[in-house]
Amino acid sequence: MPEILTLQFGNQANYLATHFWNLQESYFTYAPNTEPSIVDHDIHFRPGIGTDGSDTYTPRTVIYDLKGGFGSLKKVNALYDDVGDSRIEGLWSGNTVTHRQAPILQTQYQQDLDQGLPTNQLKASDVRYWSDFNRVFFHPRSIVQLNDYSLGSDLRPFESWSTGEELFRDVDREADILDRDVRLFAEEADQMQGFQIFATTDDAWGGWTERYLDALRDEFGKKSIWVWGLEDGRREDRAKMLGRAANSARSLCGISKLASAVLRLSSEPTPLPEYVDVGTGSRWERTALMATVAESVTLPTRLRIGTSLKRSSMAEFEQTLNTNEGQNVFEVGLNIQMEDSDNKNDNGQTIQRERFGEDQNTDAEAATFDINFMPSTTSLLPQTLATVARNRPRRHVFAQIETDRYPNRSSGRYRSTAQLDHEELLRRRYNEEAIISIFSIPLAFPHLDTIPASIFRGTSKASSPKELSLACGLTTSSRTKHTVFELRDIVTRHSRAVSIDEREELYNGLTEVGEKYDFGWESDDNSEDE
């Protein structure tokens, strides 16, 4: 079984991952004599035995958050009793005083879940913590609270990249993190294909993630490791934005050397199409949009064997997208098709492209997506350079993998130029032709009551749909070079962003990353001249 182990680093990452686990839970079929789901749950879930001897089924994940970040979620839940002696023993024999923090009460949504009652559609005001909309049980060993820092603290903010790096080293020194937190889940897997990591990379969690990746590579050198790097796309005080950009630059420079795939996700991709509305812009709403594409684009890696659909793998995705053995930073894109919009969005544009018809082939031009999640730092550029950035020539696509979720299809289809023989692949790359794979899967995206009701508005008459048809994809393109160089130039030209000692290292490291995406005449391009 090609299991995937998930690691969750930080509060925003846990919001996204909670949406992800809720979506996986929605594919379970509980009614007798019901046709099983096309999703193989064993990829992301693990069987176990509760303390009362009953069977359990929990996510293969390890969740890290700061003190106060778990909300009302308890380490020990209804599946597992509190086992062991919880008394504190020490050398002190005198009187002791126990101080207990007031417990965080469950929301009405969680109370309804525990009592087996129907749940109602959530609103932004209902969600205080990511545990407020969680629908799955976790194994107690999945919950790891880091008590050195508190969530949202002004006295000791968890913001600087170096702070996260230092925290990992301190925790790992006290107890080998991989041995304590990961080994149990890894060793029980029969044929683990790799790790997927949800992490915030523009704050202290970026430093934590790089050090964690370094340890993973030493222990699991040949496994696939995908990092979904979450970045704050909001426009704030310029000093804060420069600080976030510096953290992102450090993370990208280090993580790209260790990860098999780096998938950068902006919390507020710009521009957004008219049919998307993130409402108040709360963390719950913004991560719902990111989770929609993260869960959908990886759907081919967890399809059930024995159906008419072809299961792929993390390694196969990497082989298709990494066309020169140095490209591991991929763009993430999304299109939504509303069921009641007659294949049109608010502007009357056709969303379902004709090239997905039965008579088309994968040699067609690579798809473009309404939503591009690649973070941009153009707003921090001087006006003249920002104008140049907005008028750059059209991107060249080296490779692309699309996942189309259209439930009206009678059967799934898989087409890929990546399956061509070695000589044909070399010919296509020499002629600068894109390598394209398309997975067509007849499974709509479920619009759960834990997802904001109005996030995908469709037409002005549309109510909240129960299911969505969508197309999403991962793309290797020349645009990545400009995005990386833009980030490089911003952080290395501002004295407040990084120290003088670090500036040269970052400049050279990001230049090396960006040059992997040279295309044609652009290989002679010098961003400094722009």
CATH code assigned at 375: 3.40.50.1440
The DSSP code for 141 is: G
The DSSP code for 36 is: P
CB 497 within 8 A of CB 242: yes
pLDDT of residue 207 exceeding 60: yes
pLDDT of residue 387 exceeding 80: no
Q: Alpha carbon of 143 to those of 8, 74, 134, 201: distances in Å?
A: 10, 9, 14, 21
Q: Judge whether 194 lies within some domain.
A: yes
Nearest to 160 by CA among 227, 235, 246, 87: 246
Distance CA 402, CA 362 (A): 11
Q: Judge whether 91 lies within some domain.
A: no
Q: Judge whether 93 lies within some domain.
A: no
Q: Which residue has the tokens 């009953």?
A: 54
The token pair at 283 is 């963390």
Listed in sequence order, the residues at least 6 apart from 162 whose beta carbon sits closer than 8 Å to its beta carbon are 204, 207
The token pair at 337 is 């098709």
The token pair at 517 is 């995406």
pLDDT for 85:
35
Q: Alpha carbon of 12 to those of 9, 140, 170, 198, 201: distances in Å?
A: 8, 21, 23, 9, 10
Distance CA 43, CA 303 (A): 9
Across-strand partners of 430?
A: none
The backbone torsions φ and ψ at residue 43, rounded to the nearest 5 degrees and listed phi first, read: -65, -45
Q: What is the pLDDT of residues 432-481, one digit of tens each?
A: 788 899 999 999 999 999 999 988 875 334 455 678 899 999 999 999 99
Query: What is the band of 30 on the pLDDT scale with cuts at 50, 70, 90?
Result: confident
Say what the pTM is: 0.89
Percentage, residues of the chain above pLDDT 90: 60
Q: Judge whether 50 lies within some domain.
A: yes
Nearest to 336 by CA among 327, 328, 346: 346
Distance CA 78, CA 16 (A): 24
Average pLDDT over residues 384-389: 56
Distance CA 419, CA 425 (A): 9
pLDDT of residue 341 exceeding 60: no
Residue 203's domain comprises 4-28+39-84+102-529
pLDDT of residue 151 exceeding 60: yes
Q: What is the pLDDT of residues 314-330, one digit of tens each?
A: 999 999 999 888 999 99
Mean pLDDT, the chain, integer: 84
Phi-psi label, residue 69: left if phi above 0, alpha if psi -120 to 50, beta otherwise: alpha
CB 198 within 8 A of CB 6: yes
Query: What is the band of 293 on the pLDDT scale with cuts at 50, 70, 90?
Result: very high
Query: What is the band of 363 on the pLDDT scale with cuts at 50, 70, 90?
Result: very low
Burial of 406 (0-12, 13-18, 19+ CB in 10 A): middle
Q: Judge whether 428 lies within some domain.
A: yes
The backbone torsions φ and ψ at residue 204, rounded to the nearest 5 degrees and listed phi first, read: -65, -25
Distance CA 119, CA 132 (A): 12
Average pLDDT over residues 189-209: 96
Q: Judge whether 97 lies within some domain.
A: no
The DSSP code for 256 is: T
Q: Judge whether 89 lies within some domain.
A: no
Q: Which residue has the tokens 């308890």?
A: 74
pLDDT of residue 46 exceeding 50: yes
Q: What is the pLDDT of residues 81-91, one digit of tens each?
A: 554 333 334 44
Distance CA 44, CA 38 (A): 14
Pick the residue with more confidence: 422 or 312? 312
Distance CA 498, CA 247 (A): 9
How many folded domains does the chain comprise?
Answer: 1
The token pair at 399 is 């490779």
pLDDT for 393:
60
CB 55 within 8 A of CB 319: no
Nearest to 377 by CA among 515, 264, 291: 264
The backbone torsions φ and ψ at residue 150, rounded to the nearest 5 degrees and listed phi first, read: -110, 145
Q: Judge whether 90 lies within some domain.
A: no
pLDDT for 500:
84
Distance CA 245, CA 530 (A): 20
